[in-house]
Amino acid sequence: MSKITLNQPAPDFTLTDYRGQHVALGQFRGKLNVLLVFNRGFT
């Protein structure tokens, strides 16, 4: 995985959501807001 550079657009990636649908970050380009949630676990 390449390093992220400050002040540059995030690299595009695709993940699977809870319904099994593929979602790519690029789908949200040009939109006003994107919320990313990184769960550290339920401890």
pTM to 2 decimals? 0.55
pLDDT on residue 33 = 75
* Inter-residue contact 20 to 8 (CB < 8 Å): no
Token pair 């959501």 is found at 17
pLDDT at residue 6 in the model: 87
The full set of domain ranges for the chain reads 12-36
pLDDT of residue 35: 76
The model's pLDDT over 1-43, given as tens digits with 9 standing for 90+, comes to 667 788 888 889 999 999 999 999 999 888 887 677 887 776 6
